[in-house]
Structure 1
Amino acid sequence: MNNSSGKLGEDRAAQLLEQKGYRIVARNFHSRFGEIDLIAENKEYLVFAEVKTRDEHYCVSPLEAVTAGKQKKIIKTALLYLQSHKTALQPRFDVIGIVTREEPFTLLSVEHIENAFYGGNFH
C-alpha cells in the first residue's frame, strides 16, 4: 500500500461516517503520542476513528493491524484532544478497515467496527 491508497481510504472512511450522520470535526489530529485519523461527532458520540487501508494481498487484515500498543497511543492522543476540546458527548473508539486492489485502484471492502477497543468486537 502506498500513501495515496491510505489517503483514499481515509477519504472513503470519512464519507462512510458522514453517510451514517456524523460530522467530521478533525482529520489527522497529531499529538506527541501519535495520530488519530478521523474525529467525528453525532448527537451522542465523539468518535475517534482509526482507518487502516490494506491491499487485498497483504498478510494481515486491516483490523488486525490495530494492536494493543496502537490502541494505547490513540487513547492517549484522544485524552489530549479532549483536554483542549471540551464536549458533553460520549467518547468512542472505532476502527474502519478498508481492503483495496492496486491495479486499477479498487475498493473491495469497508468494515466499520464501532466501540472497537472496548466492545468485545475487536482484539
Structure 2
Amino acid sequence: MTGVWGETAACNYLAGLGWKIVQRNFRTRYGEIDMIAQDGQYIVFVEVKTRRDSRFAAAREHVTAAKQRRILTAAEEWLQLHPTDLQPRFDVVEVYGAEEAAVPPRIHLIENAFGG
C-alpha cells in the first residue's frame, strides 16, 4: 500500500531529523491524523501525502481546506486527551516515489503548512 509505505518513509525521515514520533494514525469520528510528533517546543500534527511524482500536481495540493478542517478538529480532540504545554503546529510531508523503486523516495517537509 502506497500510503503506509509513504507514512513509514516520512516517519523515518522525521525521526532522522531528531523528532520524537508520539503517535501514528490517530483516528476520531472527525478524521485521521497521519502522525503526531514532537519537534522541540512544538507538538506537530503531520499530514503525509505520497505520490509517484509531482508531474500533475504537488502532493500538498491534495490537502484541501476541508481536509485541513478535519485535521484541526481531530487535533483538538487529541489535545484534550493529551494535555501539553507544547505549541501545536501543522505540517505536511510530501513523499515522492514508489516502494518498489530502486531509488529512495524524495521527501519534502512543509512546516506550518496550515498557517494563514
- Any unmatched runs of 5+ in structure 1? none
Identity of aligned residues (%): 46
Separation in 2, partners of 1:41, 1:8: 21
Letter in 1 for 2:68: Q
Give the aligned CA root-mean-square deviation in angstroms. 1.8
Letter in 2 for 1:87: T
* Change over 3 Å in CA distance of 1:30–1:57 after alignment to 2: same
Separation in 2, partners of 1:64, 1:24: 24
Separation in 1, partners of 2:96, 2:89: 23
- Any unmatched runs of 5+ in structure 2? none
Give the number of aligned pairs.
116
Q: Kindly indicate whether the alpha-carbon contact (under 8 Å) linking 2:93 and 2:109 is maintained by their aligned counterparts in 1.
A: yes
Counting only pairs closer than 5 Å after superposition, residues 54-73 of structure 1 correspond to structure 2 as 54-56=51-53, 59-73=56-70
Does structure 1 residue 75 correspond to structure 2 residue 72? yes
Does structure 1 residue 20 correspond to structure 2 residue 17? yes
Q: Kindly indicate whether the alpha-carbon contact (under 8 Å) linking 1:55 and 1:102 is maintained by their aligned counterparts in 2.
A: no
Partner of 1:37: 34
Larger RCO (CA within 8 A; separation ≥ 6): 2
